[in-house]
Chains A and B, each alone.
Chain A
Amino acid sequence: MAEDTGDGSTAEMDDYETLMSTTDAELLKTAWRNEKAAPEILQFQAPLVKRAKEQIQLMEETVEEYEESGMDPLTVSLYQMDLDRAHFLLRSYLRVRLQKLEKYMFYIWKNESLWSRLSDPEKMFVQRCIDDMEKHLEETVLSKLPDNYQSVRRQSVISEEDDMVPEPQLDTFIACKARNRFVSLRLADSERPLEMERHDVSFVLYKVIEDKIGADIDLV
């Protein structure tokens, strides 16, 4: 929630805020931001998404009840706004993932560890995407090419690996902040660790913080 105001008394507030900022809406916002900023697909936040869906459904029913019971229209509209915001977050989160899946479907499909980060519906989606894409390319182009050039994934039969599969650029830099008060990062090419306070924004190589996203570090 509220960030440090720079008046010196923020350290205790930070801890308090960390404790308080654990509403699912806040967690979902963080998950959305992380997913949006990361170059590759991250672990699907299954329990969080499930809880968010339940809360949204519950709130939809509540709003409906309020409307029928003739509650003060102002209050109803405020609940509706809260609901809209939660809706937006959930949709954006799922949508960012779909965009990545569409873009890197072949790459994700053949990489076991990435594949395991997907939810079941997402796996189905990728599978169908691949089928459709292959069928489409087959019919429009590949079937008309010489035999050696008919693979969707390889340039020709002499290619030793899949060299036509779009891959995310992982040697990239992302902007991040420490979730709690202090994080120390080991950089591959430096003896001194990178020390981050809560008010620091760092641009760091993605691979360095990859396994800390959502735990010690959040992307911004």
Chain B
Amino acid sequence: MAGQSDPHVSLFSPPEVEFMAEDELVEIVPNMRMDPLNFICGDFGPFYPQIPVKVPLWLAAALKKRGKCTIRPPQWMSIENLTKVLEGEREDRGTFQAVPFHYIEISRLLFDHARDDIPDIYMVRSLIEDIRDVRLHKVETNLEKFSATSAVKIAHLSAMEVNVVRPFVVRALQAFYKHDNPVLMVDLDSVSDRQSHVTRQRQMPNNAQKQPLKRR
């Protein structure tokens, strides 16, 4: 029937994903006094000079832009932690390290708006870029090993990553679902991957390093 699966209806644009990330809280150190702000999205403040306070990222960025505060980068953005995460990502090819759901967007927003508040910004930025690349590569190589399942669970996949892999994963699962009927299951062994018993849901399988899928 006409027009039933428009893959774009369910997709979030990058600015929309960023919009959602802007509600995440960060700590700022104001340099001025201001009364509490009673917003629709919550109450923040009061603000006193040199007293740290938590606000949503968008508010932090707005105050920073006007020179009213400095932003304290979150704990997970320390070089020490990022190095640990990157090592973990490289060592364990099957699973993902625990990172904030919006780590890509948060770090991007902070790089854009608060570069002078992040110590060793070049190092931090390159670590995060490496982490992002390793993770995307990992998703792609793991997707190669995809086999018929009625559900795929991926621990610690981030918002932006979900958004990137969604079109492919959904189409692949749909195709499997269509062909997934007991009679056809027999054929499964003769298809590319030889995992004898098909467990229906699981983490994405471990696998040795392979050529990445074609880059977009």
Contact = CB atoms under 8 A, between A and B. Distances in A.
Interface string A139-167: 00000000000000000000000011111
Given A2-B25, A29-B23, A203-B151, A83 B3 contact: no
Could you tell me the dominant secondary structure of chain A's interface residues? mixed
Contact of A85 (B24, B58, B98, B152): B58
Interface residues of B, number: 57
B20 to A, nearest CB: 7
Most central of A23, A52, A208 by chain B CB within 10 Å:
A23
A189 to B, nearest CB: 5
Contacts of A25: 23, 39-42
A172 B150 contact: no
Nearest to B103: A3
Given A3-B24, A3-B101, A79 B58 contact: no
A81 to B, nearest CB: 6
A100 B23 CA distance: 27
Interface string A172-203: 11110000000001011110101011011111
Contact of A3 (B5, B100, B153, B162): B100
A86 B157 CA distance: 27
A6 B154 contact: no
Contacts of A197: 155
A192 B10 contact: no
B79 interface: no
Contacts of A39: 9-10
A187 B151 contact: yes
Interface size class of A (residues with CB under 8 A): 35 or more
A130 interface: no
A38 B11 CA distance: 10
B23 A1 contact: yes
B156 interface: yes
Given A36-B12, A190-B200, A172 B151 contact: no
A173 B169 CA distance: 8
Nearest to A86: B40
A74 to B, nearest CB: 6
A27 to B, nearest CB: 11
Contact of A78 (B5, B62, B97): B62
Interface in A66-102: 72, 74-75, 77-79, 81-83, 85-86, 88, 99-100
A107 B129 CA distance: 46
Interface in B22-38: 23-25, 34-35, 37
Interface of B: 1-6, 9-10, 12, 19-20, 23-25, 34-35, 37, 39-42, 58-59, 62-63, 66, 68, 74-76, 97-102, 150-157, 159, 162, 166, 169-170, 173-174, 177-178, 180, 199-201
Given A7-B76, A72-B34, 18 more contacts: A2-B24, A5-B74, A5-B98, A36-B10, A37-B10, A39-B9, A74-B34, A74-B66, A83-B40, A103-B3, A165-B1, A166-B3, A173-B170, A192-B200, A196-B153, A201-B157, A202-B153, A208-B150
